[in-house]
Amino acid sequence: MNAIERRSVFSLAGIYSLRMLGLFLILPVFALYAEHLDGVTPTLIGLALGAYGLTMALLQIPFGMLSDRIGRKPVITVGLIIFAIGSVVAASSHDIWGVIFGRALQGAGAIAAAMMALLADLTREEIRTKATAMIGMSIGMSFTVSLILGPWLDAAIGVNGIFWLTAVLAVGAIVVLHTAIPTPAHSSMHRDAETIPGQLGAALRNFELLRLDVGILILHSIMTAMFIALPFVLRDQLHLPSVHHSWVYLPILVVAMGLMVPMIIIAEKRKKMKPVFLIAIALIAASAAVLALFHQGWTGVITGLLLFFIAYNVLEATLPSLVSRIAPIDGKGTAMGVYSTSQFLGAFVGGAGGGMLLDKFGVEGIFIACSIGALLWLALAFGMARPRMRSAMMLHVDEANTTNAQTLETQLLALAGVSEARIAIEEGVAYLRVEKEHFDADAAKALLQS
């Protein structure tokens, strides 16, 4: 990356991670806090926790399309303002309905798609995959940090204080957006980063992609529902004050991340993606079953949480990789848009469903439902075609190149290691799917620059 790209990517990752941190910080503590709100029921606790997912799922693609018309920064700025207002509403509310409205407003600041479009505007094709991966890593770190910081911040400033802090972070993100991130000279459509309306039908008819969309919906449903139950388990079953819940999550997360790495290496380097993927789903089912049966004791809770976080981290890493490999070569942005919508919708389903299960069946009902959901996902994923371990790649097409698109595609397909090629003349980009061990990038670049 050059200096401008580094500054842009790190600043965007910071904005993205701070925003997600604001959403996730309440995850390990909200259920206990909400008990004391006026008008509360277990069902409404779950609805408040997951409300942001519904509005984010509904609005993220439209906001991304709006950014094509009026610019990235105006859309992102308005989204962050809406997010900050939602945080203030939730912080100021003394009844559960006010918090639900505030959380829904937080989600309505749906800037994910516009952020990815701005990232694409500010990075060259050759390094965009790396830049996107850095954004993904920042989101993963936000989730991990929130589970550790959430209980400590709750003890120091309360959940109300966390909502106020979230509003401050959103304002800070606006400052970073307009001071640290360059305004692109021009914005254009990027098929690798944006949802193309004309491709939505094909993405929704692709059964292999739908398996993954349903999978991420189930995974985030399970994750959100789990965190309705876990604070009650730690407090009421293990008699652990909420301020100390971080000391449960911290060592388990560290060990889980260490054990995740070899599984990812086996999946990617040894081309065992499908077996590792199925094992991770099975571990989710097993973790929820262990928690359902043995949540009254430390051994059961620690074992269940360790299995869950190992599998969750593996699946969060492998699912986007699978989407990238299965999506049409020039349709990754649309496929990822549908995937992200499914992810946010999963948070809503898990929150609303988990709250209803808590009301009717207690924490055991949540864990049993999570295990059943994971088993249904395992059955769906079992028939998945073995993914071909090819890498998506983008290369710049020189403006001076007068060769027509069809001829360029034919010439690229003749190169060793290239299995798919698509030239988007209007973007000046060649979309490739390659086997990296056989691919000669220099030969492809020379062809595109001649």
**DSSP character string of 322-376:** HHHHHS-TT-HHHHHHHHHHHHHHHHHHHHHHHHHHHHHHHHHHHHHHHHHHHHH
Contact 82, 108 (CB under 8 A): yes
Q: pLDDT tens string for the chain (450 positions)?
A: 788 888 888 899 888 888 888 888 999 999 999 999 999 999 999 999 999 999 999 999 999 889 888 989 999 999 999 999 999 999 999 999 999 999 999 999 988 889 988 988 888 777 877 888 888 888 888 888 999 999 999 999 999 999 999 999 999 999 999 998 988 877 777 777 788 888 889 889 999 999 999 999 999 999 999 999 999 999 999 999 999 999 999 999 999 999 998 998 898 888 888 999 999 999 999 999 999 999 999 999 999 999 999 999 999 989 988 988 888 888 888 999 999 999 999 999 999 999 999 999 999 999 999 999 999 999 999 988 887 777 778 888 877 666 678 888 888 888 888 888 888 877 778 888 888 778 888 888 888 776
Q: For the domain made up of 1-194, give the CATH fold.
A: Growth Hormone; Chain: A; (1.20.1250)
385 closest CA partner among 277, 280, 281: 277
Rg (CA), the chain: 22
How many Å apart are CA 223 and CA 220, to the nearest integer?
Answer: 5
Is domain 197-384 given the CATH code 1.20.1250.20 in the classification?
yes
Q: Is 233 left (phi over 0), alpha (psi -120 to 50) or beta?
A: alpha
* Identical fold between 1-194 and 197-384: yes
CATH of 391-449, one of 1.10.10.10, 3.30.70.100, 3.20.20.70, 3.30.930.10: 3.30.70.100
Where along the chain do its domains lie? 1-194, 197-384, 391-449
How many Å apart are CA 102 and CA 52, to the nearest integer?
Answer: 9
Residue 394: how many other CB atoms lie within 10 Å: 24
